[in-house]
Chain A
Amino acid sequence: MKITLKVWRQQNGKTPGNFNTYTLPDVSEDMSFLEMFDVLNDELIRKGEDPIAFDHDCREGICGMCSMYINGRAHGPLTGTTTCQLHMRHFNDGDTIVVEPWRASAFPIIKDLMVDRSAFDRVIQAGGFISVNTGNAVDANSIPIPKEDADKAFDAAACIGCGACVATCKNASAMLFVSAKVSQLALLPQGQPERHLRVKKMVEVMDEEGFGNCTNTGACEVECPKGISLDHIARMNRDYLVSNIVD
């Protein structure tokens, strides 16, 4: 199929960017979206032009590195799908596709479609863990956990840290990401001792990093490739309130 791509090009964080148009005459349906970019880049390089920079690594939807805003949607048109898992069979011959980086002030652009998401790491560093040194653990089966709780914790823990929730939110809020971690640990008995301190610290850093407020629009849940639920935000809000009262 023939595909026209309008891609955001930006040399680095200091220069302004603009859209460039590229036409690919022969895209196979079996190609992944990123493989189409490989083909385009191959062509650009052979012409001595700068290839399009984009983040990717696992190419199977789990590392959270890929991050393209495709036709106005984070990770493209399919729900529950990362950019790298998107295949060209979901597009039509003759389509024009607009591709941009994640846009959020907490995620500055590095080059073309690459952004800096290290703010997420700093939020986790503030408290997204259980403080247990290596070698201090009790036997794993001495902490029975109801399957239902374990499964819910797992669902929250499935977040891949891609940042689509931030990119898609009109306020660039990181609530879905942060609440997923808060919620995972709050659902488990091991997470109880630090439960309230954790949420406070993480929210504090989240605010410092310049993420916006949550106004309950719910766009994040729709675009999250891992189906992280808004329930986690509700749970985090409750915990956050309690943590202030406990204070």
Chain B
Amino acid sequence: MILDAKIPEGPIAEKWTRYKATIPLVNPANKRNIEIIVVGTGLAGASAAATLGEMGYKVKAFCFQDSPRRAHSIAAQGGINAAKNYSNDGDSVHRLFYDTIKGGDYRSREANVHRLAEVSTAIIDQCVAQGVPFAREYGGLLDNRSFGGVQVSRTFYAKGQTGQQLLLGAYSALSRQIGRKQVQIFSRHEMLDVVIIDGKARGIIARDLITGKLERHFGHAVVLATGGYGNVFFLSTNAMGSNTTAIWKAHKKGAFFGNPCFTQIHPTCIPVSGDHQSKLTLMSESLRNDGRIWVPKKKDDSRKAVDIPEEERDYYLERRYPAFGNLVPRDIASRAAKERCDAGYGVGSSKMAVYLDFSDSIRRLGKDVIEARYGNLFEIYEKITGEDPYTTPMRIYPAVHYTMGGLWVDYNLMTTIPGLYATGECNFSDHGANRLGASALMQGLADGYFVLPITIGEFLSKDIRTKAIPTDHPEFEKAEKEAQERIARLMSIKGSKPVDHFHKELGKVMWEYCGMARNAEGLQKAKKMVQDIRTSFWKEVIIPGSADETNQELEKALRVADFLELGELMIDDAFDRNESCGGHFREEYQTEDGEALRDDNNYAYVSAWEYKGDNQAEVLHKEPLVFENVKLVQRSYK
């Protein structure tokens, strides 16, 4: 199979406009007869479901939480980018495009990224119209802040709760369509498989998480907006329920998986406190606007932070990267923290932490200003650690945060299965090997409000005569039976170890060998280890209760079973990519001063993996990345 990204012809700045003008449309009368399934109600899913409903399609939306408002987008803190140039600091669509390509270390597709930058401005307009209370200046106009990896202020925010406010905006739009009966909502439902009929995605199998019943749902097309798979590492900043099941099952049914190993490790998270730790909490990147990162100059310095005099502190980011200082991109900041801790300069009881210090800013701006900007983040920090960041610096350490990889999609956001789309974090598009801060919210909403509702017309316009397929079709039956059997198999193991045990084991291996730094030897070892954990999982896991009722352990088991397969693919992908780029740091490939060393001659491609069956090696396809509008250079933030 040859990968066709379906990038429209023409100069980059005109592609989207021209494409929109020529794309086949579905007329309103026909839209009424077309059903679309949207799995996920985060920014990407809620915005898509709402917009498709407004357009007149019949939509079914699914989420596993008890309400669509609780999707993990709610937790995003810092902000959302848009090329509005309200700050009059020279920003433009081109600059946002360029920053995103560069920030992604030249591993994303130009045409998609440019479109993202183009529609970014309309997102802000839409959200304000919905009543999203962004931060404002005294003149009543919108305020901006800056984020890592850029030199302009283009980030819109609502205190440290930007994701919450944007999601509640999308949720309100979705709720309106639910009220109008354009969208039917299925909360506490988990998609377990996609149903493919005559080569096209035509529905899903979902489990009602209250009754345990399996359900069949038809759609002329299926949109997955199921978020990231960072929980493959067990500990991450993702919500407890975030999972890979939907996209993994789609992958096994023929959707190629793009760049699975590209993981973002966020530099500023609250460090692990003990074995009981269930998740990690992010401290927003926006804090790096006013916080300075340092470690003691002396190894194993056990003095309290406040007792270490200024000249004995090493502000290592400012030292190594004078041009961007504390605002270097995430991958660079994370590796620099790991480097210092590994070298013995870490702080705190575990020595696996660095300081993020606000004392200078508090002196310069006053406590009030800092409190207004970051008050809720300081509170979160204090609740978790019992320490007051106004008086003692925060201790932070990198943690898994975001997955750039995901289902491979073309320009239309369609996967390699016709009629199956992937939007938001669950696709691979736009962020290359490293995502810039405040760009995921932008991408989710761009996909859902402005891109997918248009591009899906290309597929659906050919389908206007297709009648709804009854769900007693043999393919529905088969998919349901498979899901049923998998559940029965899990329930019948009756071993001795809870699901979490295996999840933690997997997480440790992934973090150790496929985390912030990777090497060929370690990856090979890890592959075997993951296989072993998977084998013992299927022999020894225990799930109490039955499958015909609310059973949270079964939910977890189904998710972890998929993580155990995905983990191996991530390892394969990291092993294949003999270069370092963005968040993918292969120790064998680094510059003399420890920066990522790309190999553009051999690796300027998207890896797209094809599933070939249980226990068979996946096949790698390559989408070559062609850069016509930016010059590939060694990324420098010095």
Interface residues of A (CB under 8 A from B): 11-12, 28, 30-32, 34-36, 38-39, 41-42, 44-46, 48-51, 53, 55-65, 80-81, 85, 87, 89, 110-111, 114, 116-118, 120-121, 124-141, 143-147, 150-151, 153-154, 157-158, 160-161, 184-185, 188, 190-191
Contact = CB atoms under 8 A, between A and B. Distances in A.
B492 interface: no
Interface stretch (B139-147, B424-432, B567-575, B580-588): B139-147
Contacts of A111: 549-550
Contact of A138 (B129, B140, B172, B187): B129
A interface, over-half SS: loop
A35 B278 contact: yes
B30 interface: no
B75 interface: yes
B528 interface: no
Nearest to B165: A157
Nearest to B379: A80
B121 to A, nearest CB: 8
Given A57-B65, A121-B67, A129-B176, 5 more contacts: A46-B497, A50-B545, A134-B126, A138-B125, A190-B131
B386 A89 contact: yes
Given A12-B550, A117-B66, A134-B51, A28 B276 contact: yes
Contact of A45 (B74, B130, B161, B553): B553
Interface residues of B, number: 80
Nearest to B384: A87
Given A35-B277, A118-B66, A141 B86 contact: yes
A58 B75 contact: yes
B240 interface: yes
A87 B66 CA distance: 24
B175 interface: yes
Given A32-B278, A48-B544, A124-B175, A62 B67 contact: no
B615 to A, nearest CB: 29
Nearest to A189: B131
B168 A157 contact: yes
A65 B133 contact: no
Given A110-B550, A132-B130, A135-B126, A145 B69 contact: no
A129 B72 contact: no
Interface string B142-165: 100000000000000011010011
A56 B164 CA distance: 16
A136 B133 contact: no
8 contacts: A32-B384, A41-B498, A53-B552, A60-B75, A61-B383, A80-B379, A117-B67, A134-B50
Contacts of A135: 122, 126, 449-450
A129 B173 contact: yes
A120 B500 contact: no
B124 interface: yes
A197 B379 CA distance: 37
Interface in B551-576: 552-553
B493 interface: no
A55 B47 CA distance: 25
Contacts of A137: 122, 125-126, 128-129
B380 interface: yes
B86 A129 contact: no
A81 B74 contact: no
Interface string B51-92: 100100000000001111110101100000000101000000
Contacts of A42: 498, 500
Given A118-B67, A137-B122, A46 B74 contact: no
